[in-house]
Structure 1
Amino acid sequence: MKRRWIVGLTWLTVLSIALVGCTGVNTGAPENEGSADENQVLDMTIPAEPPTLDHSVTTDAVSFDFILNNVMDGLYRLNKDNKPEPAIASGIDITEDKSTYTFSLREANWSDGEPVTAHDFEYAWKRALDPETKAEYAFILYPIKNAEAYNSGEVSADQVGVRAIDEKTLQVELEAPTPYFLSLTTFATYFPLREDIVDKYGNEYATGADKMVYNGPFEVGEWKHEQSLTLKKNQSYWDRNTVKLETVNMNIVKDTSTGVNLYTAGEVDVASLDSALADAFKKSPEYLPITLAETQYIQFNTNNEFLSNAKIRKAISYAVDRESITKLLQDGSEPAYSFVPPSIFTSDNQIFREIAPDGHQYNPQEAQRLLEEGMEELGFTSKPRLTLLSFDDHRRQVAVAIQEQLKNTLDLDINIDPQPLRQKRDREAQRDFELSFISWRADYNDPQTYLDMWVTGGPFNRADWSNKEYDKLINDSVRNPDNEERTRNYVEAEKILLEGSPVAPVFYTGKIFLQKQYVKGIYRHPVGAELTLKWAYMDGKE
């Protein structure tokens, strides 16, 4: 019989080692300081309309970061120190070989009063893995036994290693020990779902406030598409006494200057700030910079004849002056010379960037040489005009800077095509782009969350790049219990990625917010979902 060890609510020792040292931002005093206002209403801006709140299929940051993390609870959620703490889980039993996790669930209800059960987790995870669902984030469930095989259509759902033993007991069998597994359970794809509600609304599920149920601190009270969302305190939430905010009004504001105008007019309490207005607020106590584990980069469509050549892709990367771009942004962003950001730790508790060499530098002469060699290899005698798919928010200025740099250094003509988030995401998924300026934020703190994107046929490998040696390094590392070997594999894999250049890293993201001083207890996490409002409250708002 396998020896087991039991843990209850205070269990925090078997966590991903990689979470150590990653600091979040508490924007305001702890919630037990000061006296909270009687009227607990927070007004804020969000940058886009969430395409859907169906956490089995959604992939956009607005849904994940701003809404789902605040209206849903998984088995665990990130706490104020960015470590997973029990949420719906009340205890856990882990086998000595760390291959099987048995979660005990607390007494918790959905917003309609129905109990949250182990079946809700089993159903949600298997739904995301079902090939018919076509969930792009299904891969994040692959540490579970037979999850990948089921998602690939090789086995049936009943062979997946997740099972509701009874209403309050969930057993999860892994393919192999996964040191960051509890961190994964804080991610939206691991949240539970009510099968009866999904069946009731079908394709309309989670497209409106009244077409889903919630088990988190808040529920969506009103959703005016392309205008606003209102979150209301979930009176059925198991930890509702901790939640002080009664209402959160989220105004959809795509233009930063509009959000700042709302902020200065006193119509919102929290708003995003960009470089154009940063200097005007830098000395204000309401000026709040944060750093995220997020890389902004150019993605190349390797199916394009001109961009099929690695030397040409690398030439474009070497022509980008990253330092001048971050100076333009003035938001705390840092130049990115490699793909994995400096806030990511390895499973043996090393800062990945300190042991992995930087790759792409600004080198105009080398860029010109590589472009000439690449064109000669392809037989190109002239340079085609290329189009750069871009965000339609403040990052358009980065696209313009890249456009100018590629013209000045390589005499490449680049058209900029800014698109709303939904259309941009769809275009990328359909490979309807040549160059795309894109971002990737860590789902959990481990190099894998960046490097497994680029395996052959991966759902987010929209560059359609392929390298067999790279695939082997990543696949060998995913479930490798030898942390040192795993780290070496990831270092080597990133070198191959940068040599093959399906991407050109540009900068690691910084963000600036304006936040009234009476707003307390908002937490912003560098990995996973960005925003937690569970502990937020208002103290002194007129």
Structure 2
Amino acid sequence: MKKHGWFLFGIILAVSMLLAACSGGEETGGESTQSDGDDSSSSNEQVLRLTEGAEIPSMDSSLTIDAIAAQWLGATKDGLYRLGKDGKTEPGIAKDHNVSDDGLVWTFKLREDAKWSNGEPVTAHDFVFAWQRAINPDIGSEYGPYMMNGVIKNAEAVSKGEKELDALGVKAVDDYTFEVTLEKPTPYFESMTAFGTFLPMNEKFVKEQGEQYAMEADALLANGPFIMTEWDHGEGWTVEKNKDYWDADKVKLDKIKVNVVKDTASAVNLYQTDEVDVANLSSEFVDEYRSSEEFRVEEEPTIFFLKMNQENEILSNVHARKAIQMVVDRQSMVDVILNNGSIPAGGNVPANFVQHPETNEDFREINGALVESNVEKAQEHWKKAKEELGIKNAELRYLGGDTEVAKNLDAYIKDQLEQLEGLTIQVESVPFKVRLERDSNMDYDIENYGWGPDYIDPNTFLNLWVTDGGNNKTGYSSEKYDTLIKKAATDLAQKPVERFETFLEAEKLLIQEDAVIAPLYQRARAQLWKPYVKNVTSNPMGPDYNYKYAYIEEE
């Protein structure tokens, strides 16, 4: 998640879905990213008014896999650490930590002044319960096993039901000392603790709520900067300042009001009539507002691509998948259809995200563009695929979003794909929550999908595709690919140069040789935002934005 892990983890276009926490979500939310001050002297009402393009499916941090939930979990909860300025971790419930010499045991000292919104203290037991719950096979979390397996000691065995929950490498040494034992040294583990899956839970409250937990505002507890006070499903929600928050003096906003608005024209109209403070712009609005002082473009480390379900007979053929990779004109897509600063994606790892540990070269620059747009070559691959499959024509289902801009982009991609002789694309436009369910069940042939980072490392993108990975959902399985990813995570964990170069090799195998996905674009956000919105910062992973220090400046 997200994105992100848009990912959320998404925002600028209501085009497609960023799953995770990804860091992921549907590309339709809206927030400001200005950060040119630290304090507010405003006498104005401290209310920020935003839009999102879809409903929150759930606020259960064990179960959420989308960027919208990740955003509002990040606003209402503190984990051990949270993301602050420039995407750096800053103290949350943990005041500090120490790591054993072998890199395996992390001991977190928790603050004693953190409370839940029901008045109970936040303790190490809340982390033990939440982390065990996320890995409990009876709960069915996708992200628990995905984030913890191979990282937290015994996580994989616990997630498979081979060991009891108390075998997971987490322990409350006392009420305010939380100890974590890892399977292997994990340099980016501190940033992982800021991710939604690792947020604490009050065991008594969760069990009292039962199946209703995290499905309504009154079935939630907060320990973060804000508390969700209203949740009108399908319409929007409101969070208000948590006056009992341990760091409440730093929180300037009294309230954030969010409306669900699925089409860009409506969002822009609300912005122009001063009913919301931020609006996302789709391509037809970008040129109109590009010269405005309130116009902003921001690049994200979020990649969108076509997932191809290899359980489909046609898509099990590598030449069919390569044809789909090559037939889409990515440059025209970003220039004309998106028109928001997004750039064509050259692979699975975004540009300006991670650098070679020795040369400081960008990952994307080193590997370059691993896909090309070439209709002639695409037709050659498609012809070979049809010969191998013994077919003349084919029909594939394309899973897309139900927002206005999503439909526009999906229509463009449909036209591009149908350049392949004899191919018919059946677009199925469904709501965000339905897409999450259908992706989980692999109920699609082709899906417009996105991913934002869950932590700052190539692994957050490349370990998606290991055999039976929780977010794979393509049917792809490669012993060679699995070996590369495992090697990077184990033998090379403390050899940064060799580890990085192994990831470069894995990406080439994924994209060039096996054609598992068809990269489309790296997202940017084009937005309008009111100049009085200050100190909202964007995150490279987890929640898209940090509102903890935001304020409304006096006009």
Range class of TM-score, shorter chain? over 0.9
Q: Which moved more, 1:177-186 or 1:265-274?
A: 265-274
1:232 deviates by: 0.5
Name the amino acid aligned to 2:537. Y
Distance (Å, rounded) in 1 between the aligned partners of 2:484 and 2:257: 46
Backbone CA RMSD of aligned residues: 1.5
Note if 1:483 corresponds to 2:496.
Answer: yes
The match for 1:524 among 538, 546, 549 is 538
Q: 1:70·1:218 contact (CA, 8 Å) conserved in 2? A: yes
Distance (Å, rounded) in 2 between the aligned partners of 1:28 and 1:283: 21
What residue is the counterpart of 1:331 in the other structure?
340
Q: 2:170·2:180 contact (CA, 8 Å) conserved in 1? A: yes
Distance (Å, rounded) in 2 between the aligned partners of 1:245 and 1:89: 24
Distance (Å, rounded) in 2 between the aligned partners of 1:154 and 1:442: 30
The match for 2:276 among 268, 280, 284 is 268
Q: Which moved more, 1:151-160 or 1:212-221?
A: 151-160
Distance (Å, rounded) in 2 between the aligned partners of 1:385 and 1:200: 49
What residue is the counterpart of 1:55 in the other structure?
61
The match for 1:250 among 247, 258, 261 is 258
The match for 1:309 among 290, 301, 317 is 317
1:188 deviates by: 0.4
Distance (Å, rounded) in 1 between the aligned partners of 2:168 and 2:189: 16
Distance (Å, rounded) in 1 between the aligned partners of 2:53 and 2:432: 10
1:35 deviates by: 2.1
Q: Which moved more, 1:341-350 or 1:451-460?
A: 341-350
5+ residue gaps, structure 1, are 1-23
1:313 deviates by: 0.6
Equivalent residue of 1:104, what SS?
strand
The match for 1:223 among 226, 231, 245 is 231
Name the amino acid aligned to 1:398. L
Work out which structure has the larger RCO, using CA pairs closer than 8 Å and 6 or more positions apart in sequence.
Answer: 2
The match for 1:496 among 502, 509, 513 is 509
The match for 2:142 among 136, 141, 152 is 136
What residue is the counterpart of 1:82 in the other structure?
87
Q: Which moved more, 1:243-252 or 1:273-282?
A: 273-282
The match for 1:471 among 464, 478, 482 is 482
1:26 deviates by: 4.6
Point out 4+ residue stretches in structure 1 off by more than 6 angstroms. none
CA spacing shift, 1:147–1:347, aligned 2, 3 Å: farther
Equivalent residue of 1:297, what SS?
strand
Name the amino acid aligned to 1:470. Y
Name the amino acid aligned to 1:106. R
Q: Which moved more, 1:525-534 or 1:183-192?
A: 525-534
User: Once the two structures are aligned, what percentage of the paired residues are identical?
Assistant: 39
Distance (Å, rounded) in 1 between the aligned partners of 2:123 and 2:427: 49
Distance (Å, rounded) in 1 between the aligned partners of 2:55 and 2:383: 43
Q: 1:292·1:527 contact (CA, 8 Å) conserved in 2? A: no
What residue is the counterpart of 2:12 in the other structure?
none
1:344 deviates by: 2.2
Q: 1:295·1:505 contact (CA, 8 Å) conserved in 2? A: yes
1:481 deviates by: 1.5
What residue is the counterpart of 1:340 in the other structure?
349
Q: Which moved more, 1:127-136 or 1:357-366?
A: 357-366
Note if 1:204 corresponds to 2:212.
Answer: yes
Q: 1:105·1:169 contact (CA, 8 Å) conserved in 2? A: yes
1:46 deviates by: 1.1
The match for 2:167 among 143, 152, 159 is 159
Distance (Å, rounded) in 2 between the aligned partners of 1:392 and 1:339: 25
Q: 1:25·1:290 contact (CA, 8 Å) conserved in 2? A: no
Q: Deviations over 1:45-64 (max 9, x none)?
A: 11110010000001111111
What residue is the counterpart of 1:113 in the other structure?
119
Structure 1 segment 401-412 matched on structure 2, within 5 A: 401-412=412-423
Count of residue pairs brought into register by the alignment? 515
CA spacing shift, 1:94–1:483, aligned 2, 3 Å: same
Name the amino acid aligned to 1:532. N
What residue is the counterpart of 2:401 in the other structure?
391
CA spacing shift, 1:68–1:306, aligned 2, 3 Å: same
The match for 2:286 among 258, 278, 284 is 278
Distance (Å, rounded) in 1 between the aligned partners of 2:264 and 2:134: 34
Equivalent residue of 2:87, what SS?
coil
CA spacing shift, 1:338–1:45, aligned 2, 3 Å: same
Distance (Å, rounded) in 2 between the aligned partners of 1:25 and 1:223: 22
Q: 1:26·1:80 contact (CA, 8 Å) conserved in 2? A: no
1:401 deviates by: 1.1
Equivalent residue of 1:385, what SS?
strand
1:29 deviates by: 2.0
Distance (Å, rounded) in 2 between the aligned partners of 1:153 and 1:358: 42
1:285 deviates by: 1.3
5+ residue gaps, structure 2, are 1-30
Distance (Å, rounded) in 1 between the aligned partners of 2:265 and 2:187: 43
CA spacing shift, 1:119–1:87, aligned 2, 3 Å: same
1:346 deviates by: 5.0
Note if 1:431 corresponds to 2:442.
Answer: yes
Note if 1:417 corresponds to 2:431.
Answer: no
1:449 deviates by: 0.6
- Normalised to the residue count of structure 1, the TM-score between the two structures is 0.93
Note if 1:188 corresponds to 2:202.
Answer: no
